Structure 1
């Protein structure tokens, strides 16, 4: 496999590649767009690093894998799917102004992918390093989790190129997160003539929302938040069905078990009402212990670097749960993830890439 020679990290070259990635839209679940995006990611990797990037097909779209060869030691992990629908680029094109780059997906997480590639391009020795860029992180990583876990275990250390925390801090811990869907089945009747003949699914749902919200334990990092509810068809019909969606975040495996058991044990309050519960905490917590060793290395390379535990999840949750040392938030410095004002601070990108390059060398030492 022919590798390109090491090159100095160039801000202009990074902006060029960032533009290329942003201008290839990649909304999750749009298989045609994701296929085009995967080809673009692979082309950028090959342009800067040489060798061949492999497209790994999946039901969620193609993942991109590149390996420098040799005994695997470090996995650089990211994703190329974004949350913005096709056509967003026409309304909000890639722009560089006032020291910032803006455009759909620029912070979450195309900027991080660019930094990973240029970090590796700056090294004379790239052996033992792999890049994995998945196609479905924004929608749960169901089609990529097995591959992520396989390569993480093979490499033994994971650097996650998700956007940095506020102020450029790395992410040393993440909550486990998941979504539950509770469906209530009642019985319809005429709301004026015989309301008692029905089983009011909306009333049952109201009871369940209060029971579910009572599972919240913010003092120990557990948040249980009902987010969406629906019920009813007409204003004179006792509703026969209702649905509740709940967002859950936990900091510990014990809380994950408690919450999942509590949802499984939900019981109807109204006679003849029925409940169906689906979902779970799909991303296990990423404890700060998983990042401790790598964070210490990062602080040696960048004195004063801060680490923060955050509420959102990433694919680093999966690798940390396996016991693989994992450090997250090594991507772009910026903000506005999933929002129209998403941005990357351009003059931080070379420094972030140098930190990743330093970590790669320290891990392999």
Structure 2
């Protein structure tokens, strides 16, 4: 179950980061995070027996395990680069990232040499069944584990610092990511200790190894949730606003239709569009919502002299239904060609200077028109 959850979170996180990177390809920290998630996502299927066997059948025994570990080391490196790019200027971040690439290159070269010099009969074994008395095998797991501890611990230090300074939801995501990284550092340290113990000839209980592996999966899941959390929360909040604007846009339609028929020249978009084109889209609903609010307000200003002649301009003293009836009468009077004796006056104005309050007054009037 945990493995499936990690796979789903990885796909969602990678999709989201690729979308963000497509919008800001020059963003160094974002590019580093995207490469980190991409490396983890690519390494994930190689951890399954089916995926490892399929890759080994093409590249040779042990190549899947080698590639998986190289990708995980690269993911830890790019995670570290995210903070290097974030705390330094562009040139300084690149310079420090190049220096940090040296330990990565040494680790990758060492584990690659260890795999290539390991007997083919031993390469296909996984961590739980490996014979750590073989020096190349022990060196492979020890070097990979130690580099992961170094890189993730470095990133954890920066994550902890930023989490203390950030505000929600970013802070919540950073704390979750920090907890996941702390778990990965602890688990990788324990695994490295297990390698040393077995290298020296002492056994490690199989059940204890299984528990450590499960904790590693949970730590990775917690880290991926933390990385994705701020973006998901922001998207949910944006979706709520989108739905609210979409709903209010539709509720304003009766008022807007009445005023637009009387004053078509006040439309902010004078290009003829079809009904399907005019429907709110995911990207354009906010623009159309604000445009409809402005057009309704402009129409009320223009009809306000006729409402003043009827003594009906003070909507606060009347129900929306009564005011809606006066509005229809005023529009009919204007359409008949009669001139207004009064000047423009405020119509359906809220008690405070707030856009939401203004929209509530317009929506109440529009609902009254629809009910009538």
Q: TM-score, normalised by structure 2?
A: 0.24
Q: TM-score, normalised by structure 1?
A: 0.24
Q: Which has the larger radius of gyration?
A: 2
